Amino acid sequence: MLTEVGSRQFSAVPVEQLYTQLKCAKDGLTTGEAAERLKRQDKLFRTESQFKKELKLLFRQFFNPLVLLLVVAVLLSAILGESSDAYIILFILLVTGLLGFWQEVNAGRAFDRLKKMIEMKHTVLRNGSTVEVATAGIVAGDVLKLAAGDIIPADCRVVESDELHVNESTLTGESYPVEKAPGEVDATLPLARKHNCLWQGTNVVSGTARALVVNTGSQTLFGQMAHSLTQTPETAFEKGIRRFGFFLLRITIILALVILIANLYFKKPLFDAVLFSLALAVGMAPELLPAIMTFAMSAGARRMMKKKVIVKKLSSIFNFGEMNVLCTDKTGTITEGNVKVKDIVDAYGIASNEIRLYAWLNAYLQNGFPNPLDKAIVSLNLSLNGYEKINEIPYDFIRKRLSVAVRNEQQRIFITKGAFTNVLEVCTSVRSKNGDTEPISADIRDEIEKRFIAYSEDGCRVLGLAVKQLENEKINRRDEQQMTFVGYILLEDPLKESAQASIEKLEKMHIGIKIITGDNRYAALHAAQKIGMKNPVVLIGEDLDKLSPEALVIKAKQTDVFSETEPHQKERIVKALQKSHFTVAYLGDGINDVAAINAADIGISTNNAVDVAKEAADFVFLEKDLAVLAEGVYEGRRSFANSMKYIFITTGATFGNMLSVACASLFLPFLPMLPKQILLTNLITDFPFLTIAADRVDEDQLTMPGQWNLNLIRNFMITYGLHSSLFDLATFYILYFHFRLSESPFQTGWFMESVITEILIIFIVRTRKFILKSKPGKLLVITSSIAVLMAVVLPLSPFADILGLSIAHTRQVIAIILLLLTYVITGEWLKRWFFKRSAQKG
C-alpha cells in the first residue's frame, strides 16, 4: 500500500519512484511476493469469514421483534413459576429458528458456489509472464495488462497506453470516455483531470494499456465510496414483499392489541393474556417467508444452472418470472454467432487479392478488443508479405472505424475498416477497375450505396474498407479523412435453426421480442423476416434520435427491430419500454450493451462476454441461445408462483385464526388455545410450508408473466380469512355449546382443527384447478401427511399432559372430521369463484 503519498496523491509521483515505493519491478511481482502481500492485504481489510457470516445469519433468525417480545415474556413467566410452559415455548422457538437458519445457509452456500463460476479474471504479470488472476487476488505492486472490455480492479498508474479510453461514469457521472496516457499530473487536480490514473470500478472502452496497481480494496477511491455505490435498487418483487410486510405488521399489531384488551377486560390472567397475544402475533407473522423465498430462489438457481444459466442475484429470479419483453441483439442469439468471410470485393463487386490483404492486415495487426468480425477475417491465414505495423487507432462506438498504419520497403499505408456508412463518409475517392483512383461523384456514390444495400438485403454483414498513403509514421484520428474507398468485406452469420422455434415459444409465454442491433436496417430486416416476424416495424438510430422521450415511449412499443443503434440509444429504448409498464430483459455481451443491461429490469449476458457486461448482468448464460432463455423464464415463474402460494396460504389461514380468536375472546371464559399450543401449531405446519418452494406448478400458471399484486393478496386474505373464521367459530360453537367442553378438551379440538385446516388450505390454494386435477410435489405430500398425523397423535401421546392436550370423546373427533370435509368443499368452491372474479376485474 502506498501510504507515503496517500490514496489519491500518486498521480504526481514518477513511475520509477512508484516501483521503488511498492517494492516491485516493471515485469511484475513473483508468485511468492504476491502470495505474501495477499495475506497482509486480507488481514488489513479484515474480510469477514464464512463462519462469522453464518453466525450472524443464525442470530438474525431470533431478532424478529415479535419473537424477542415473546422470549422476554416467557422468561418472566419462568421466573414467576411457570417454568414448564416457558421451556416448551422456548424449545419450539429454537427449533423454528434453526429450521429457518438451515434453509438459508444451504441456499447461501449454493449461491456462493455459483458466483465463483463467473468470477472476474484479470491479466497480470507474475514472474515476468502473463497469468489470469481473480479480482480478490490483485495486490499493490501488480502490473496489469488491460484491453477493451476489462473492468479495472484497483487504483492504478498508467505505465504504457495505446489509444486507451476509459468509462469513468461510475465515479464522475460523465458518460463520455476519457483518454488515458502515461505521465505525471499535479496531485491537487480534480479526479476527472488525472489522465495518468485508473480507478477501481471503471472500465476500458477502447485501446490497450499496462498499469501499475497502487491501491486495492477499501483503500481505493471506489472502496471508500462503496457503501453508496453498491446500493442496488429493489426489484419489483422486493418492493412488493416490503409493502406486504408493513401491511401485515399493521394488521397483526391491531388484532393482537384487540385480543389482549379483550382478555384483560374479561379478567384473564395477565401473563397468560400477554403470552397468548404475542404467540398469536408470531403465528400471524410470515416468519418463514424469507426462508421459503431463499429456498425457492436457490432451488431455481440450481435448476437454472443445469440449464446453463448462472444466477448472480437471487432476487432477480422473480423478475425473470415477471418479464414480458425481451430486447436482444442479433449476433449469437438469432444467428449462430459463427461469423465467416463470404467474400472481399472491390467497389465494383469484383474479388481482389490486394483488397483481401488490406482487410487481413487491418484485422491481424490490431490490438484492441478481440471480436468475431476480426477473428473471421484473420482466419483467412494470409501472410504479412514484408509488412509491419507502425501504429493503430482502435475501434470505438462513436467513429465505428478501426485504422492500422503499416509499412513495407516501398510504402506506408493507412488502412481503415468499419461500418460501411462511417467508412464511406471519410472517403473522397474510389479505386477504379484499372487500379487508379478517381473522385467519388454523386453517381459513383449512389452506385456504391446501392451495391451495399443489395449485399445487406441478401443477409450479409457488410463492412467498408478504405486506404491512403502516409507521408510520415505519426498517426491520429485526423488522418481518417480524404481516403480512397477500395471495397466491401462481406461476412455471413447463418440463422440458428432453433431461433424461430425459440421465438415462437417465447411468444406463447406472452413475451414480446425486440431486436436491437448495430447492423444496418436491411440486414436486420432480413433476419427478422427469416425468423418469422410478419411485417416487422424497423426504426433506425438516426430517426430514433429525432424522437422526443414521450414520442419514443409510443414508438418503442410499436417497433420490432431497432437497427443502426449506438450504445446510448439502446439504453433509451429500454427505458422507453419500461415507461410503457413492461418488465424488460436485455440480452447482450459487448461493451456497447452495458448501459442497456444496467437499465433493464433483467440484465443478461453470456460467459464469453466482456468483463464489464458480465459484471452488469443479473444472469450469465453459458450458452447464448433463446431456448435457454425460455427455460430460465419458466424457472423464474415457477419460483414466483411457489412463493406466492405461501403468501396466500399463510395470510388466509392465520388471519382467519386471529379473527376468530378475537371473537372467541368475547364469550369464552378461558383461552381458546394455550400459547405453547399456538406455537406448536406454527411449528408443525412450518415443515409442509417449507416444501412449497419445491412444489410442482401447473403449466397454465407458467404461460403468463407473474405479477406482484398487493390488492389481490389483501382481498384473498379477507375472503379466505372470513371463510376460515367461520369454520373456527363453528368449531368453537360445537365444542363449547354442543359438547360442553372447556379448557384442555376444547383447546385440543381447536388445535387439531387449526393444524389440519392450515394443511388442507395448502392443497386447495396451490392450484387454480380442481384440487384433484393438479398433482402436488412428493415432498409436500409427505410432510403434510406427517403434520396431520402429528395433530391427531399428539393428544393421545405421552406428551399430551405437558402440551395441555386431551380428547374428551370420539364424537368430538367425528364432528371435527365433518367440519373439515365441509371446509374442503366450500374452500374449493370459494377458490374458483375468487380467482375467476379477480381475472374478470383484471
Residue 235 has pLDDT above 70, yes or no: no
Give 273-292 pLDDT, tens digit per residue.
777 777 666 656 655 566 66
Q: List, by residue range, all CATH 3.40.1110.10 domains of the chain.
A: 340-492
Rounded to an integer, the average pLDDT of 763-787 is 91
**Average pLDDT in the chain:** 82
Indicate the pLDDT class of residue 68, thresholds 50, 70 and 90.
low
- Which of these is catalytic: 155, 329, 374, 728? 329
Average pLDDT of the residues in 725-750 = 87
421 has a pLDDT exceeding 90: yes
Q: What is the mean pLDDT of the segment spanning 426-450?
A: 93
Q: How confident is the model at residue 45 (pLDDT cuts 50, 70, 90)?
A: low
Task: Decide: residue 480, CB within 10 A, 0-12 exposed, 13-18 middle, 19+ buried.
Answer: buried
Q: What pLDDT is attached to residue 430?
A: 96
Residue 65 predicted with pLDDT over 70: no
CB 658 within 8 A of CB 280: yes
- The answer on pLDDT for 4 being more than 80 is no
- From 95-99, 308-312, 470-474, 596-600, the region with the lowest mean pLDDT: 95-99
Q: Is 519 a catalytic residue?
A: no
Give mean pLDDT, residues 339-363. 93
Q: CA–CA separation, 190 vs 215, rounded Å? A: 18
| pLDDT attached to residue 58 | 75
Q: β-strands 512-516, 561-563: how paired?
A: parallel
Confidence grade of residue 228 (pLDDT, cut at 50, 70, 90): very low
Cβ–Cβ < 8 Å for 713, 648: yes
Inter-residue contact 802 to 675 (CB < 8 Å): no
Q: Give the Cα separation of 494 and 461 in Å (integer).
A: 11
CATH 3.40.50.1000 region(s) of the chain? Answer: 309-336+496-622
CATH H-level superfamily of 340-492: Calcium-transporting ATPase, cytoplasmic domain N (3.40.1110.10)
pLDDT of residue 286: 58
CATH number 1.20.1110.10 is the correct assignment for the domain at 241-301+633-841: yes
Calpha distance 163→159 (Å, rounded): 13
Least confident window among 14-23, 86-95, 603-612, 820-829: 86-95
pLDDT of 374 above 80 = yes
Cell of 181: 496516457
**pLDDT at residue 135, as a whole number:** 84
Separation of alpha carbons 388 and 786, rounded Å = 78
What residue ranges of the chain are covered by domains with CATH 1.20.1110.10?
241-301+633-841
- The answer, yes or no, to whether residue 415 has pLDDT greater than 90, is yes
% the chain with pLDDT above 90:
26
The pTM (predicted TM-score) of the whole model is 0.69
pLDDT digits (tens, 9 = 90+) for 591-622: 778 888 888 988 888 877 777 777 788 888 87
Q: In the predicted model, is pLDDT for residue 118 greater than 50?
A: yes
Alpha-carbon span 752 to 733, nearest angstrom = 15
Packing angle, helices 743-765 and 778-793, rounded to 10: 170
- Report the topology of domain 309-336+496-622: Rossmann fold (3.40.50)
Task: Pick the closest to residue 744 from 688, 800, 810, 692 (CA basis).
Answer: 800
pLDDT, residue 404, reads 94
Lowest mean pLDDT among 93-97, 354-358, 498-502, 688-692: 93-97
Pick the CATH number of 10-27+121-229 from 3.10.105.10, 2.60.40.420, 3.30.70.360, 2.70.150.10: 2.70.150.10
> What whole-number distance in Å separates Cα of residue 639 and Cα of residue 41?
40
* 3-class DSSP state of 122: strand
Using the CB atoms, write b or e for 31-55: b if 16+ within 10 Å. Answer: eebbeebbeebeeeeeeeeeeeeee
| Lowest-confidence pick of 261-275, 409-423, 455-469 | 261-275
Q: Has residue 293 got a pLDDT over 80?
A: no
Rounded-to-integer distance, Cα 269 and Cα 235, Å: 46
Q: Which of 581, 569, 574, 576 is nearest to 555 (CA)?
A: 576
Q: Does pLDDT of 335 surpass 50? A: yes
